[in-house]
Chain A
Amino acid sequence: MSHPFIPAPNTALVEMVYGYEGQIIENTFHVVRNSPFDASALQSLTQNVFDVWDSTGTARFSAQRTADSVLTQVKGRALDTNSSPVYIYTLPGSGRPGVISSQGSLPGNCTFAITLQTGLAGRSYRGRIFIPGLNYAMLQTSGARNLVSAAQANAWIASVNSLIAQIAAIGSGYHLVVTSYYNNHAWRTTAVNSIVLNAAYADLAVDSQRRRLAYRGA
């Protein structure tokens, strides 16, 4: 559904871009601060926060996905105007694969939904990301293999909550947010941000993203 550019003041869009078996898949985040993002702020956000979140520490995201999911780029884009700065950080070499063995990697459409909670009710105020790079060992071993283990789900939550904390630690006014462009069957004229308080999961069921399968387009 195309729409004209909708400004989101003081907000940056950050896309984590992965390769997975020939397919390109993404997770999208929004970050707000007290002033518009310029190029240097976008560079710092993509390289010093999101890339570091993926690569460093016990809750690093790369430790929670398989080697088949390779982080290749982190893209940052300011959303104040349609000519606001863009910064694309391309990881060196062929990118950063996940730490978990690719042995037993699940098909790309198998994912897990993490909800981003803002403490507000309503569709405009909750977000989701879908985890890339699941492995067979992440599933529960009893019954049908349609559920991930609670330990794995909690590890993802810890990782995303770590990202929330790292963004808040950049400085005053920095927050991971849910950005809403649509309300009551109409596009907004200006996007509305809600601060993400924490990550959570609704259930342990595997979720589905058909377009993450190789050669399945839009």
Chain B
Amino acid sequence: MSQVVPAVARFEMRYRTTDNTMENVYYVRTSSSVWAEADLDAVSAALQDWETSDAHTVRSSAVSLYEIVATDLTSLFGIRKSYDVSPPIVGTLANPLPMNATLALKADIGRRGRGTAGRSFWIGLADGQLNGPDQIAPVSADLILSAMNVLVSTIAGLTPIEGMCIPHFVVDHVRPPSVQADIIVKYVLSDFYLDSQRDRLPGHKKHKRYPIA
């Protein structure tokens, strides 16, 4: 069921390794009633700049950002636009971990309610970021968290953007036809323990595998 999300656009940051693809999906709310193509361009450019200046230094060298896809969710016929990131922005940390090892970052929306906060699973951890096999070192966690919160403030600083947000596609087991979205206050960590994303390993995805040249 397709749903309309008033004032919100989706941005998929697509990463690849030599043998798989994966993505982080972010939502952004505008103070305008519609998304102009120029506004999608501006947010996509900010995401790419963030990857260059902040994020790629805390990602492993196995992953690179190769594409950003923006989709206007304000109507079923909204704009969808792809942005090639050329050359791809490669992570910098040596000794990458297998891609199912990840860290969950909780998007705090400043509002109560079960299942209302969003999560983002960091792409590209490296062995040197760990403290023992199953935990991230606090200093590494701080760097990742700091990068995420830089992204929150950067996006919120664009005009006419309100900020990154979490849409609630399911409420009380029902998919509302028009979706409410809350602005992200900040990203936080629940704990230092790693999380798991099986689909980021080669051969585990249910959907199509990206052809790697």
Residues of A within 8 A of B (CB): 20-23, 68, 102, 104-110, 136, 139, 143-147, 203, 205-210, 213-216
A146 touches B201 (CB 8 A): yes
Residues of B within 8 A of A (CB): 17-20, 62-63, 95-101, 127, 130, 132-135, 191, 193-198, 201-204
Q: Which residues of chain A come closer than 8 Å to B191, judged between CB atoms?
A: 215
Contact partner of A143 among B18, B135, B194, B198, CB < 8 A? B18
**How far does the alpha carbon of A107 sit from the alpha carbon of B127 in the complex, in Å?**
10
B195 touches A146 (CB 8 A): no
Q: Which residues of chain B come closer than 8 Å to A216, judged between CB atoms?
A: 193, 195-196
Chain B CB within 10 A, most for which of A68, A109, A144, A210: A144
B134 touches A110 (CB 8 A): no
Given known contacts A136-B127, A144-B19, is B196 in contact with A210 (CB within 8 Å)? yes
B196 touches A208 (CB 8 A): yes
B170 vs chain A, min Cβ distance (A): 22
A139 vs chain B, min Cβ distance (A): 7
B62 touches A144 (CB 8 A): yes
B96 touches A110 (CB 8 A): no
B160 vs chain A, min Cβ distance (A): 39
Q: Which residues of chain B come closer than 8 Å to A110, judged between CB atoms?
A: 97-98, 100-101
Instruction: List the 9 shortest-distance A-B pairs measured between CB atoms, nearest first.
Output: A144-B17, A143-B18, A210-B196, A208-B198, A105-B133, A144-B62, A109-B196, A214-B134, A208-B100
Contact partner of B97 among A145, A203, A214, CB < 8 A? A145
Contact partner of A145 among B96, B133, B134, B196, CB < 8 A? B96
B97 touches A106 (CB 8 A): yes
B134 touches A213 (CB 8 A): yes
Q: Which residues of chain A come closer than 8 Å to B95, judged between CB atoms?
A: 136, 145
The residue of chain B having its C-beta at the shortest distance from the C-beta of A202 within the complex is: B203
Q: Which residues of chain A come closer than 8 Å to B18, judged between CB atoms?
A: 143-144
A104 touches B127 (CB 8 A): yes
A205 touches B101 (CB 8 A): no
**How far does the alpha carbon of A31 sit from the alpha carbon of B209 in the complex, in Å?**
39
Q: Which residues of chain B come closer than 8 Å to A106, judged between CB atoms?
A: 97-98, 101, 133
Q: Which residues of chain B come closer than 8 Å to A109, judged between CB atoms?
A: 100-101, 194, 196
A205 touches B203 (CB 8 A): yes
**How far does the alpha carbon of A136 sit from the alpha carbon of B126 in the complex, in Å?**
11
A152 vs chain B, min Cβ distance (A): 13
Q: Which residues of chain B come closer than 8 Å to A208, judged between CB atoms?
A: 100, 196-198, 201, 204
Q: Which residues of chain A come closer than 8 Å to B17, judged between CB atoms?
A: 143-144, 146
Q: Which residues of chain B come closer than 8 Å to A203, judged between CB atoms?
A: 203
**Beyond known contacts A144-B63, A205-B204: 9 more, CB 8 A cutoff:** A21-B132, A21-B134, A107-B196, A108-B133, A109-B101, A145-B96, A147-B19, A208-B197, A208-B198
Q: Which residues of chain B come closer than 8 Å to A22, judged between CB atoms?
A: 134
Q: Which residues of chain B come closer than 8 Å to A102, judged between CB atoms?
A: 133
Q: Which residues of chain B come closer than 8 Å to A205, judged between CB atoms?
A: 19, 201-204
B135 touches A214 (CB 8 A): yes
**How far does the alpha carbon of A113 sit from the alpha carbon of B187 in the complex, in Å?**
35
A145 touches B193 (CB 8 A): no
B101 touches A146 (CB 8 A): no
